[in-house]
Amino acid sequence: MPQPTPADRTHRLVPSPAGRTHLVEQGDGPLVLLVHGFPESWYSWRHQLPALAAAGYRAAALDVRGYGRSSKPAAESAYRMLDLVEDNVAVVEALGERSAVIVGHDWGATIAATSALVRPDVFRAVGLLSVPYTPPGGPKPSEVFAGMGGEQEFYVSYFQEPGRAEAEIEPDVRGWLAGFYAALSADTMPEPGAPDPHFVTRGGTLRDRFPRGRLPAWLSEDELDVYAGEFERSGLTGALNRYRNMDRDWADLAGHQGAPIRQPSLFLGGSLDASTTWLADAIEAYPTTLPGLTASHLLEGSGHFIQQERPEETNRILTEWLGGLDA
């Protein structure tokens, strides 16, 4: 049987509460919805689309609202988590399905987890890449982030101030993206003891700490051009507005404080990824917070962009997990 290729992908625009959601789908079978993180697009799943199609699934990778060809509402508050959940529900319905498995990476993992939490009637299983599940609740996020770093400023607080990160990024979107991807990838991230790119020197920029002059092995110049082209057209404000709604999410989800996700779940992280190491306690809590966890993997030597850094292993783990859901 011929293996799926990029030529087999179908681009679609479907109606959603955002206005429209752009997605790329490939394959036939049970629906698997793929949700990207920051600062990426549907393209971050380019290695998974053909693999899932070959395994007998209908894979659909979307552009989250504010990204790529999806709608970009003007109001900052239009990017709260519950709005993104409803976009996902609308995509499932627009594709003629009643339910789906949802898989997310980075912010997409949190979007996927929240989708599974609040709409278990639609999302029958959830896969989380790089960012562990932490139930809603706890202290107000902006206060937590403001207290991190001491004399330095945590990147989330930096991103939360409207216009500030945009002023850093806009003059050279391609160069900024190259540095950001390099900073969090295993083969190009700063050596231990070097200034941490998750923090900003007071009065400085995040870019000051990015590696320069070398792309990570998973990213070619042509692939970087794809990402840069998307953000040069769309700008970064829609993407950054996700960070600017964390306090609103905290209030919106107060009724789910401490709630576990009970559907079958998967976690896949990288051993060199700060998202995994900083949230090690969240992973240890999975017996309570993810009682339906059926597979958990930590890839040694992988950084943050796990499905692009280690596509073959990611594809194997995903397809084995998906195959076990209906076994």
pLDDT in tens, 108-120: 999 999 999 999 9
Q: How far apart are CA 91 and CA 62, in angstroms?
A: 9
Question: Is 243 domain-assigned?
Answer: yes
Q: Is the pLDDT of residue 1 over 70?
A: no
Per-residue confidence at 44, pLDDT binned at 50, 70, 90?
Answer: very high
Question: Is 273 domain-assigned?
Answer: yes
Tell me whether residue 225 is one of the annotated catalytic residues. no
Q: Count of domains in the chain? A: 1
Average pLDDT, the chain: 96
Q: Considering 22, 36, 198, 304, which one is annotated as catalytic?
A: 304
Q: What is the pLDDT of residues 276-310, one digit of tens each?
A: 999 999 999 999 999 999 999 999 999 999 999 99
Q: Which residues pair with 24 in a beta bridge?
A: 11, 61
Rounded alpha-carbon distances, angstroms, from residue 117 to 3, 36, 86, 123, 262: 35, 18, 12, 9, 8
Q: How far apart are CA 154 and CA 151, in angstroms?
A: 10
In the prediction, which pLDDT does 240 show?
98
Cβ neighbors of 168 (< 8 A, separation 6 or more) are 176, 205, 206, 207
Tell me whether residue 22 is one of the annotated catalytic residues. no
- For residue 32, the number of C-alpha atoms closer than 13 Å in the C-beta half-sphere is 30
Report the pLDDT averaged over residues 134-145: 94
**CATH assignment of the domain containing 215:** 3.40.50.1820
Q: Considering 106, 198, 249, 273, which one is annotated as catalytic?
A: 106
Q: Record the tokens describing residue 60, joined without a space.
A: 């659909």
Domain that holds residue 234: 6-325
Cβ neighbors of 65 (< 8 A, separation 6 or more) are 16, 18, 21, 71, 72, 73, 78, 79, 83, 84, 87, 238
Question: Is 253 domain-assigned?
Answer: yes
Question: Is 1 domain-assigned?
Answer: no
The helix (run of H) or strand (run of E) holding residue 317 is helix 311-325
